């Protein structure tokens, strides 16, 4: 039965990735799509409303500015809703404190969805709908749009990276919204509630009554998984039976998390060569397989693991969630064995096996640039990528992308201990407590959102620190990667022999090995202090 689950997820995901990938490729190069005239009319209406010229091409700086402006407006709106929800209709709840509202606005707009509150207890129905569901479209659309611009940098010369507002609009209207809509219908059929009633009261088998929080759960759950979001309607997240009712929904939601990240290598193959795209896909699948094997090495549970999923279903879901930086969990992390926790750390450290919607593909190409640089040093040749020279500026930018991640994890972890904020959460310092603190900042820096601490971290220190880490961890790498794309748009395309062909089994093997070696050299000491010592 376990093998059937795994085979079903892989086959269905890769099958749909072929379709999604072809569609993404059309969107990247603005080719005609199915229903192009109808979609064009709808999109043109939005362009007129926001007052943009859809034919305007942006430099990487203009593209980044547009992305930051759009996300800033969305974050401000979410912050206001959280601060004013006690005045709003539909079962108003007490307003968030300023530090919690800041942290949660930063969390949702950065595609992290780390939660220091319990949604079913602290958010009103209106807040769940107009803040969470709204920004769960904004955040992944921004990441996918950035990936579109990044890929264009390798296929265009002196023509700009596209138009962020056009990409953003098209992604929401023609990709995320329709897929999320039909996914929500399927989740309703599987047992997730979708209602405007904030709660229902029903009888129990003991003859008593019980009141349960309800709302538009299915619509939030669909875009939560599809968009690499991860924030739960309930405090229990995807372990709650309303968010993830059965083993069938568990498999379906696993598919939703994986399909777009695995579609990007297919799109890449359509635009830049079948061999290159398939090689990137193979590297991602191998990395995901390593995570899964490590997670399944010892059985998880039974404590903290839902009986309706079992150990295998729990590990498969959680590994897929962390590998895609979704961050949804269908069990308690304390119920996972220590090998599975190490597996989750690896996924958050690498961020590209396959990574979040859009940003995972960008990060993988950064690893390719670093791999080509290292190989070039070994053979004494200037590194080349797709007939373009990789210059020192490109390498510096790629190294900054790589080094920013451990800095955002390790420095705040040290600060948490030196200020006493870490010890305040635990009676004594142990390998487990260190793992929990390390996991909190790793999840924040990776824009992942899973965590051990939950509402216990609702203090000014943890809210401000994780909020800042999430913002820097999202926008600094995107800015640096768009700068890399801008650099490549200026390069000459010449037929030059690469130090190693960026396709084929040899390249896949080298890419996987270099990626894991770089990760191990960076993070092994802290893993030895934490999960290795539990």
Q: pLDDT tens, 335-353?
A: 999 999 999 999 999 999 9
Q: Which of 277, 273, 254 is nearest to 265 (CA)?
A: 277
Q: Which of 150, 534, 44, 116 is nearest to 368 (CA)?
A: 150
Residue 36 lies in a domain: no
CA 196 – CA 40 distance, rounded (Å): 32
Domain residues for 522?
359-533
How many distinct structural domains can be found in the chain?
A: 1
Q: What pLDDT is recorded for position 158? A: 72
Residue 175 DSSP label: I
Query: Partners of 388 in the beta sheet?
Result: 385
What is the pLDDT averaged over residues 12-41? Answer: 92
Q: What pLDDT is recorded for position 385? A: 86
Residue 528 lies in a domain: yes
Residue 61 lies in a domain: no
Residue 94 DSSP label: P
| Token representation of residue 51 | 């007052």
Q: Could you give the 3-state DSSP secondary structure of residue 244?
A: coil
Q: Does 533 have pLDDT greater than 70?
A: yes
Q: What pLDDT is recorded for position 437? A: 96
Confidence label for 306 from pLDDT (cuts 50, 70 and 90):
confident
Residue 214 lies in a domain: no
Confidence label for 498 from pLDDT (cuts 50, 70 and 90):
low
DSSP string, 265-283: HHHHHHHH-HHHHHHHHHH
CA 262 – CA 269 distance, rounded (Å): 12
Spatial neighbors of 202 by CB under 8 A, at least 6 apart, are: 209, 210, 212
How large a percentage of the chain has pLDDT more than 90?
A: 77
Contact 109, 139 (CB under 8 A): yes
Confidence label for 386 from pLDDT (cuts 50, 70 and 90):
confident
Per residue in 27-45, pLDDT (tens digit) is 999 998 888 888 888 898 8
Q: Does 398 have pLDDT greater than 90?
A: yes
Q: Is 358 left (phi over 0), alpha (psi -120 to 50) or beta?
A: left
How large a percentage of the chain has pLDDT more than 70?
A: 99
Residue 463 lies in a domain: yes
Residue 401 lies in a domain: yes
Residue 227 DSSP label: T
pTM, rounded to two decimals: 0.96
CA 400 – CA 203 distance, rounded (Å): 58
Residue 1 lies in a domain: no
Least confident span in 87-91, 244-248, 324-328, 391-395: 87-91
Q: What pLDDT is recorded for position 40? A: 86
Q: Does 201 have pLDDT greater than 90?
A: no
Least confident span in 39-43, 212-216, 493-497: 493-497
Q: What pLDDT is recorded for position 496? A: 63
Q: Express the helix, strand and coil content of the chain in percent, nearest 5 each.
A: 70, 5, 30
Q: What pLDDT is recorded for position 74? A: 97
CA 28 – CA 257 distance, rounded (Å): 21
Residue 351 lies in a domain: no
Q: What is the CA radius of gyration of the chain?
A: 22
Per residue in 41-92, pLDDT (tens digit) is 889 888 988 888 989 999 999 999 999 999 999 999 999 999 999 998 888 8
Query: Partners of 389 in the beta sheet?
Result: 384
């Amino acid at each position: 039965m376990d093998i059937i689950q795994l085979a079903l997820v892989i086959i269905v995901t890769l099958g749909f990735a072929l379709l999604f990938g072809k569609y993404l490729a059309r969107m990247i190069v603005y080719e005609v799509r199915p229903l192009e005239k109808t979609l064009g009319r709808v999109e043109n209406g939005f362009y007129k409303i926001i007052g943009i010229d859809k034919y305007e091409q942006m430099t990487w700086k203009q593209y980044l500015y547009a992305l930051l402006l759009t996300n800033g407006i969305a974050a401000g709106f979410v912050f206001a809703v959280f601060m004013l929800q006690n005045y709003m209709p539909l079962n108003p709840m007490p307003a968030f404190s300023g530090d919690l509202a800041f942290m949660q606005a930063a969390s949702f707009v950065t595609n992290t969805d780390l939660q220091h509150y319990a949604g079913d207890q602290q958010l009103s129905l209106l807040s769940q709908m107009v803040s969470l569901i709204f920004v769960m479209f904004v955040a992944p659309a921004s990441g996918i749009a950035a990936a579109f611009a990044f890929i264009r940098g390798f296929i265009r010369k002196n023509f700009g990276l596209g138009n962020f507002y056009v990409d953003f609009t098209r992604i929401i209207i023609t990709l995320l919204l329709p897929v999320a809509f039909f996914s929500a219908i399927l989740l309703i059929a599987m047992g997730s509630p979708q209602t405007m009633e904030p709660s229902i009261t029903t009888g129990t088998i003991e003859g008593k009554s019980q009141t349960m929080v309800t709302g538009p759960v299915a619509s939030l759950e669909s875009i939560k998984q599809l968009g690499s979001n991860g924030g739960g309607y309930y405090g229990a997240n995807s372990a709650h039976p309303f968010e993830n009712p059965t083993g069938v929904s568990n498999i379906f939601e696993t598919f939703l998390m994986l399909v777009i990240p695995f579609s990007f290598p297919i799109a890449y193959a359509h635009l830049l060569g079948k061999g290159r795209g398939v090689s990137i896909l193979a590297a991602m699948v191998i990395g995901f397989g390593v995570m899964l094997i490590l997670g399944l090495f010892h059985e998880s549970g039974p404590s903290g693991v839902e009986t309706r999923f079992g150990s295998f279903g729990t590990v498969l879901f959680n590994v897929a969630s962390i590998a895609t930086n979704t961050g949804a969990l269908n069990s308690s992390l304390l119920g996972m064995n220590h090998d599975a926790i190490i597996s989750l750390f690896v996924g958050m450290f690498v961020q590209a096996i396959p990574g979040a919607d859009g940003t995972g593909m960008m990060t993988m190409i950064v690893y390719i640039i670093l791999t080509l640089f290292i190989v070039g040093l070994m053979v004494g040749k200037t590194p080349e990528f797709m007939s373009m020279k990789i210059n020192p500026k490109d390498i510096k930018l790629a190294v900054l992308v790589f080094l920013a991640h451990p800095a955002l994890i390790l420095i705040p972890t040290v600060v948490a201990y030196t200020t006493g904020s870490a010890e305040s959460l635990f009676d004594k310092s142990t390998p487990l407590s260190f793992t929990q603190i390390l996991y909190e900042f790793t999840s924040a820096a990776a824009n992942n959102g899973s965590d051990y601490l939950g509402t216990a971290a609702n203090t000014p220190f943890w809210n401000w620190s994780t909020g800042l880490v999430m913002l820097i961890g999202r926008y600094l790498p995107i800015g640096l990667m768009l700068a890399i794309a801008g650099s490549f748009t200026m390069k000459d395309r010449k037929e030059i022999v690469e130090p190693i062909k960026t396709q084929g089994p040899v390249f896949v093997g080298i890419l996987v090995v270099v990626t894991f070696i770089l990760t191990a050299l960076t993070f092994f000491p802290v893993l030895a202090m934490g999960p290795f010592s539990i």
